[in-house]
């Protein structure tokens, strides 16, 4: 986990350094392009070989994000955080050290083309996963648009993967 945080921090510093070297300033919030509607949801699946686990994928439905920060809340009586299983490109950091809260953040300059932002595994402690909620504190499209108003769609159960 510390290695991922290190590389994520290093990537961010590289972007800031690149902006300084070329004389370009990072865009201010007021300079961002207007938002286009984007949707995201949690996709829930049970791995066939681990029926006691639940994989939760954070996925965009329309549009492509280049960066995001957010959180997933859950009922700790029904689920226990196991770890990050993100397998897409870009830099993704998952922190599940808080009770009932998993923080996620990611960056990929060209966006996350398949829409998968993060994937997290939980251990089931009850028959139902309960109420999982997704919220973004920051989201930016590849065009620089502010996507904090991203529409959060209801979770979707998918085939086991």
CA atoms 75, 77, 81, 87: torsion sign: negative
In this structure, are strands 65-73 and 133-141 parallel, antiparallel, or unpaired? antiparallel
With CA atoms as reference, report the closest residue to 71 among 110, 35, 100: 100
- Over the stretch 34-75, which tens digit does the pLDDT of each residue have? 444 678 999 999 988 888 999 999 999 877 899 999 999 999
Read out DSSP for 78-114?
TEEEEEE---SSSEEEEEEEETTEEEEEEE-TT--TT
User: Coil, strand, or helix at residue 57?
Assistant: strand
Model confidence at 84, pLDDT cuts 50, 70, 90, reads very high
Q: Is the pTM of this model over 0.75?
A: no
Cβ(21)–Cβ(132) under 8 Å?
no
Domains in the chain: boundaries: 33-153
Q: For residues 91-105, give the mean pLDDT.
A: 93
Q: Hey, what CATH topology would domain 33-153 get?
A: Immunoglobulin-like (2.60.40)
Share of the chain above pLDDT 90, in %: 45
Give the pLDDT confidence score for residue 9 in this predicted structure.
Answer: 45
Q: What is the pLDDT of residues 5-24, one digit of tens each?
A: 444 444 443 433 333 333 44
């Amino acid at each position: 986990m510390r290695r991922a945080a290190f590389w994520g921090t290093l990537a961010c510093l590289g972007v800031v350094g690149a902006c300084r070297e070329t004389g370009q300033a990072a865009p201010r919030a007021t300079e961002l392009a207007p938002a286009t509607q984007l949707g995201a949801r949690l996709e829930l699946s049970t791995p066939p070989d681990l029926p006691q686990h639940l994989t939760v994928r954070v996925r965009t439905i329309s549009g492509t994000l280049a960066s995001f920060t957010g959180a997933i809340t859950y009922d700790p009586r029904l689920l226990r955080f196991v770890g990050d299983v993100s397998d897409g490109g870009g830099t993704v950091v998952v922190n599940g050290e808080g009770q009932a809260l998993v923080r996620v953040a990611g960056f990929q300059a060209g966006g996350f083309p398949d829409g998968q932002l993060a994937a997290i595994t939980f251990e089931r402690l009850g028959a139902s996963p309960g109420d999982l909620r997704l919220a973004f504190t920051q989201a930016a499209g590849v065009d620089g648009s502010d996507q904090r108003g991203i529409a959060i769609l209801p979770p979707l159960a998918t085939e086991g993967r």
